[in-house]
Chains A and B, each alone.
Chain A
Amino acid sequence: MSLRRTLSFLGRFTVIVLLSCFALYILVPILWMISSTLRPPMDSFKLPPAILPSQFELENYQIVFQKVAFGSFVYNSLKISMLSTALQLISSSMAAFAFARLHFRGRNVLFIAFLASMMIPAHVMGIPRFIIMSKVKLIDNHAALILPAIFGAMGIFLIRQFMLTIPKSYDDAAYIDGASKLYCYLRIVLPMTKPALVVIALQTVISTWNDFYGPLIYINSEAKMTLPLGLTVLKGVFMSGNQGVILAGVLLSLIAPLVFYLFGQRFLIEGITLSGLKG
């Protein structure tokens, strides 16, 4: 018995050592990024690379704001991700309510058509959408990035799945009391759908914040760029000169998604379970 216990202890110890090695693989580049940004600009390429910060120069962070419109990048990213998310939540929850709660002809056909749209790759839609946006003069305009959020098949699907788990007797009771469909949606079903709404909000806000392809094709002027696109400008200016500045920009751009995540971490895991892993 004691041999067995020793073996199991050794097994656990090995597992912890191996997992910690992998954790180092994840963490070391991040630590290196942080330390590199805190070096004075002239030491940018000096070897050995710093893993733990030994200096605390903030000059790189100042340069980021001086040389590119970094403040605008942050503002644009916030604006676009917030508005897209709001649009997506309103529109998807309304559609989900119709699919989960109301009877109408063609409901299943339409639902399947919506779902089928998820099969179309982003790069197939990119070309015609760009042409549409240029026809309506929305190139280099944030609306080109925000408006498509009005339709989100994944959001509709997840919210509908969640609404189906809410007993219909709540609605029926309200209808007997003379409530309208709108009242039932706003006051009865929506409040109970909150967990699914939070999941969709988080997923949308993070994926919009991180989107690179959309801004890349629609936005041209520096003042209108989002963070991921703006960083390419920063990279263009400093790649051969000072990598500390670029890394400072990259690090600053990573803060928001992490904050979003910390805020809703337990909901995100719920979302993965919700998205129908069980097939």
Chain B
Amino acid sequence: MSIVKHRKNPNHDAQAAWLFLLPSLTGFVLFVVLPFIMVIYLSFMKYNIITPAKWNNYKNWIMLTLDKRFLLTLGNSAKFVLLLVPMHMLMGLVLALGVNSLKKNKALVFGYRTVFYFPTLLATSSIAIAWSMVLNKDFGLLNYYLGLLGAEKIAWLNSSFWVYPATMLFSLWKFVGGYFLYFLIGLQGIDKGYLEAAEIDGATAWQKTRHITLPLLSPTIFFVFITMMIGTIQIFDEPYMLTGGGPGDASRSISLYIYETAFTSQKFGYAAAQSLILMVIVMIITLIQFKTSGTLVSYDRE
């Protein structure tokens, strides 16, 4: 081994390395670095693609603090995070614990896993079209069955209150399978020895879950939590397809607002400034992950 190392010419290695990196590096420069510089530059400019970009005296950044719709849509995205993330965490975990408790029955586990997971493979935008029909006030599946139970018709997508429960119902259907699968894989990785030892000591099912399974699952829980936060704060397809952001601005997320500022109103400079705020939020969440992952969770099972 050491002989080989000596013979290797480090310069030769480096030359080959840069050749291997060439395609990715080109893509990185063209589609990451250059756009990143541009978006910062644009955030100080007035630009509509047709006329050349013009310096506009920090107006985009000043406007951010005055634009009520910006704060409102940022708040809406936060609302989506507060509603969707805990729902998915809880339901994903409950489903995973349930399916894992049946692990001796392979066929049953496979069946549930397939049913719960397959919606995550479908295009969010396409399946949202179908769900907007399920949630339709007059002809929808949901109101029809609620009606059989004696409930009034709910304007799921046309009420500034009900759009959030409606989005939750859709999001649960569409995405919980992915989180469920993460948790299930995490659970399957837990050393059975701990649980058997607790059983011998007479621990109840709840005690085992609370004091052994959940702490050992904490790395997975934390990973899923952070990934979900980052994904949900950028929520776009669901409001775009289900409600178009409505009624009014009730379900307009920040990503949807940025998209409209750029591609509908042609204010690319202002949209760039808005998107940078979103980026800073995502980066803060990511950095919190790096800082806390060592202390908040138990990595005992490594």
Contact = CB atoms under 8 A, between A and B. Distances in A.
A and B co-occur in one complex: yes
Interface of A: 11-12, 15-16, 18-19, 22-23, 25-29, 32-33, 45, 47-49, 90-92, 94-95, 97-98, 102-105, 107, 110, 113-114, 117, 119-132, 134, 147-148, 150-152, 156, 169, 172, 175-176, 181-182, 185, 206, 209-210, 212-213, 217, 227-228, 231-232, 235, 243, 246-247, 250, 253-254, 257-258, 260-261, 269, 272-273, 277-279
Contacts of A175: 4, 8
A18 B98 contact: yes
Interface in B226-245: 234, 236-237, 240
Given A49-B141, A148-B27, A102 B20 contact: yes
B126 A253 contact: yes
Contacts of B185: 269, 272-273, 277
A40 to B, nearest CB: 16
Say which size band chain B's interface belongs to.
35 or more
Nearest to A254: B122
A123 B234 contact: yes
B17 A98 contact: yes
Nearest to A185: B20
7 contacts: A26-B119, A92-B24, A95-B23, A114-B28, A120-B282, A246-B133, A277-B223
Contacts of B139: 45, 47, 49, 243
Contacts of A269: 181, 185
Contact of B126 (A22, A92, A250, A261): A250
B62 interface: no
Contacts, number: 259
Contacts of A260: 121
A47 to B, nearest CB: 6
A117 B28 contact: yes
Interface in B73-113: 95, 98-99, 101-102, 108, 111-112
A93 to B, nearest CB: 9
Contacts of A273: 185
Given A123-B255, A185-B20, A243-B133, 10 more contacts: A15-B102, A94-B23, A98-B18, A104-B17, A114-B28, A121-B278, A127-B35, A127-B268, A128-B38, A272-B182
A215 to B, nearest CB: 10
Interface string B202-214: 0001000000000
A229 to B, nearest CB: 8
A273 B186 CA distance: 9
B121 A212 contact: no
A258 B127 CA distance: 13
Contact of B141 (A32, A172, A235, A254): A32
B4 to A, nearest CB: 5
B279 A121 contact: yes
A172 B4 contact: yes
A127 B271 contact: yes
Given A120-B32, A151-B24, A231 B115 contact: no
